[in-house]
A and B are shown apart, each in its own frame.
Chain A
Amino acid sequence: MLEAKGISKVYPDGTEALCEVSFKVPEGESCSIIGPSGCGKTSLLFIFSGILKPTSGKALIAGKEVVAPSREVALILQDYGLFPWKTVYGNVSLGLELRGYGKKERQRIVSPLLKNLGLSDFADHYPKQLSGGMKQRVGFARALALNPDVLLMDEPLSSLDALTREKLQNSLLSLWKNNRMTMLLVTHNIEEAVFLGREIIVLSSRPGRVVIVVENNKVGEVDYRTTEDFFDKCREVRSSIEYGAT
């Protein structure tokens, strides 16, 4: 389980990013966080991944307070997640390397992973040589290499074109269904939030507060996207965002 207990974050320059944010995500569930830009969504992910410390409040994962990055938690960032100076293979195996896995062991984990994501032929390519969709798949592969229990994502698909985006949303959905990770997805795209989040947390503009938590029980099938329920849910979320922005 993933839990935010009254998290506030004030940066040294006085910027108030988050204010008393509390929510719970049950184990193995997916949760979308949506809100206007600059509402502290990214700060929240950095706090859960142990990179930033909250000014007050606590971030808990499986009941334990997050104080440092741990191997159970993987973070996927929007654009800068991949290191341009490392090959696809180097990027994907980096987490394992940092945690002291030997060369053979890294290969044993990374090779099938690249194969599953259709990246085997590009193992020696640099990120610059890949399309946006492929880069993002490399980002997923790197996070999955550590076999995490919790996957934190910061607008992972926002720089992709609409078609690639839907494809990767589908693969994220099947990833989640197959691996049963707890997923926390920050996005500014309403359809994406509704398609992937069993819960949708709507944050207000800065400092981010929880406006409402929308239950979204029908999530989990690819064709949910075309149903009437889906559009109703999107409308509901949209009006909550507008309410929170005022």
Chain B
Amino acid sequence: MPRSEEQHRIWSYLIAGILLILLWQVIAALLNSIALPMPLDVFSAFIAGLSGNLLSHVLVSTVRVCYGIALALSLAIPIGLVSYKDTMDKFITPFIYLLYPIPHIVLLPLIILLFGIGDLSKVILIALIVFFQILVTTRDAARNISTNYIYSLLSLGATGKDVYKHVVFPACLPKILTSLRISVGTAIAVLFFVESFATRKGLGYLIMDSWSRMDYPDLYAAIVSMALLGLSLYLVLERVEKKLCAWVYV
């Protein structure tokens, strides 16, 4: 991206951010309730938290959500990619169609029963939900690969493994990364849910804890941290997509 365009982008983000904070300020002033503190109060709570233990909660949450997404990816990508073959797809699709629409979050009791109440259960629940979002997109992308690409590669002397490396994976990668970006929001929402019980670490815990203490500036500092976590993951993934899928953006 040319420099001026990049600068333009940064400015537009900055202006949007400032407008949102102003809006917050106006609503807070109108409501005049302790349940919605002024941005400045939250900001000072956030800064105070940074020198306290806010960062360690952020770190725990980041690790949980990243492990969850990584676990989902490592399973969804291979299963999605092999669906480019009709035979595999016929076998896999019925499972996807039956399992995808189920609200997986209700499986929490089962997951806790199987994996305990520690971090593993939290990671698995995040992974389970994100898994289906990535799988469905990857599978659809793999089904849409023109057979001409595959024929063309075979004519150059490719074997089965080469087809994945040179056609199926690169062809699906932009869609995979887009679905991943969309999944970040879901993953963080699930993170909040799994951290709201049976743990004393993480932003979800911090939100529930400061809520019960009616410490609203702290509550909003935790919410802002969660939002920033989502935003940074989103931005990182956007960068990765631009880098790995340069051919889409030329």
A interface residues, Cβ below 8 angstroms from B: 46, 49-51, 69-71, 73-75, 77, 79-81, 83-86, 94-95, 98-99, 125-126, 128-129, 142, 146
Q: A49-B155, A71-B157, A95-B157 are in contact. Are A79 and B148 (CB under 8 A)?
A: yes
User: Which B residues lie within 8 Å of A46 (CB)?
Assistant: 151
For the complex, what is the distance from the CA of A132 to the CA of B52, rounded to whole Å? 61
Closest 5 CB pairs of A and B: A80-B148, A75-B155, A85-B170, A95-B156, A126-B247
Find chain A residues with CB under 8 A from B173 CB: 85
- With beta carbons under 8 angstroms apart, the residue of B148, B156, B245, B247 that contacts A69 is B156
Q: List 27 A-B contacts (CB under 8 A).
A: A51-B154, A69-B155, A70-B157, A75-B155, A77-B148, A77-B151, A80-B146, A80-B152, A81-B148, A81-B152, A83-B152, A83-B153, A83-B167, A83-B170, A84-B247, A85-B171, A85-B245, A86-B247, A94-B156, A95-B156, A98-B156, A98-B157, A98-B162, A98-B166, A126-B250, A128-B247, A146-B156
Give A86 to B154 CA distance when docked, in angstroms.
16
Report B104 CB to chain A, min CB distance, Å.
Answer: 32
Cα A74 to Cα B156 with chains together (Å): 7
Cβ-defined partner of B250 (8 Å) among A74, A99, A129: A129
Nearest opposing residue in chain B for A84, CB measure: B247
CB contacts (< 8 Å) of A70 on chain B: these are: 157
Q: Which residues of A contact B247 (CB under 8 A)?
A: 84-86, 126, 128
Contact of A83 among B166, B245, B246 (CB under 8 A): B166
B149 at the interface (CB under 8 A from A): yes
Interface footprint category on B: 20 to 34
* Distance of A73 Cα from B155 Cα, bound (Å): 8
A142 to B162, CA, bound (A): 17
A128 to chain B, nearest CB (A): 6
Instruction: Report Cα–Cα, A57/B246, bound state, in Å.
Output: 45
Q: Which residues of B contact A142 (CB under 8 A)?
A: 156
In the docked arrangement, what's the CA distance between A83 and B74, Å?
A: 25
How many angstroms between the C-alpha atoms of A75 and B153 in the bound complex? Answer: 10
Closest residue of A by beta carbon distance from B246: A126
Q: Closest residue to A128 on the B side, CB-wise?
A: B250
Tell me, rounded to whole Å, the shortest Cβ–Cβ distance linking A214 to chain B: 28
**Bound CA span A74–B152, Å:** 10
Could you tell me if B154 and A69 are in contact, using CB atoms closer than 8 angstroms?
yes
Residue B189 at the chain A interface, CB threshold 8 Å:
no
- Any A CB within 8 A of the CB of B158: yes
What residues of A have a CB within 8 angstroms of the CB of B245 in the complex?
A: 85
Residues of B within 8 A of A85 (CB): 170-171, 173, 245, 247
A-facing residues in B101-160 (Cβ within 8 Å): 146, 148-149, 151-158
A70 to B173: give the CA distance in the assembly, Å: 29
B-chain residues with CB within 8 Å of residue A73 when the two chains form the complex: 155
Q: How far is the CA of A94 from the CA of B166 in the complex (A)?
A: 9
Least CB distance, B217 to chain A, in whole angstroms: 49
Q: Could you say which of B155, B162, B250 contacts A51, with CB atoms under 8 Å apart? A: B155
Per the bound structure, the CA–CA distance linking A244 and B166 in Å amounts to 41
* A83–B155 CB distance below 8 A: no
Contact B152 A98 (CB under 8 A): no
**Of all chain A residues, which has the CB nearest B148?**
A80
B250 partner residues in chain A, CB cutoff 8 A: 125-126, 128-129
Q: Indicate whether A74 sits within 8 Å of B146 (C-beta atoms), given known contacts A85-B170, A126-B247.
A: no
A193 to chain B, nearest CB (A): 22
Taken together as a complex, chains A and B put the C-alpha atoms of A31 and B12 apart, in Å, by 60
- What's the nearest-Cβ distance from chain A to residue B117, in Å? 44
Q: Contacts of A74 on B, CB cut-off 8 Å?
A: 155
B43 to chain A, nearest CB (A): 44
Which of A51, A84, A128 touches B151 (beta carbons < 8 Å)?
A51
Q: Write out the residue numbers on chain A whose beta carbons fall within 8 Å of the beta carbon of B171.
A: 85
Given contacts A51-B155, A83-B153, A94-B156, 18 further A-B contacts (CB under 8 A): A51-B151, A69-B154, A70-B157, A71-B157, A74-B155, A75-B155, A77-B148, A80-B148, A81-B148, A81-B152, A83-B167, A85-B171, A85-B247, A86-B166, A86-B170, A95-B156, A99-B157, A126-B246
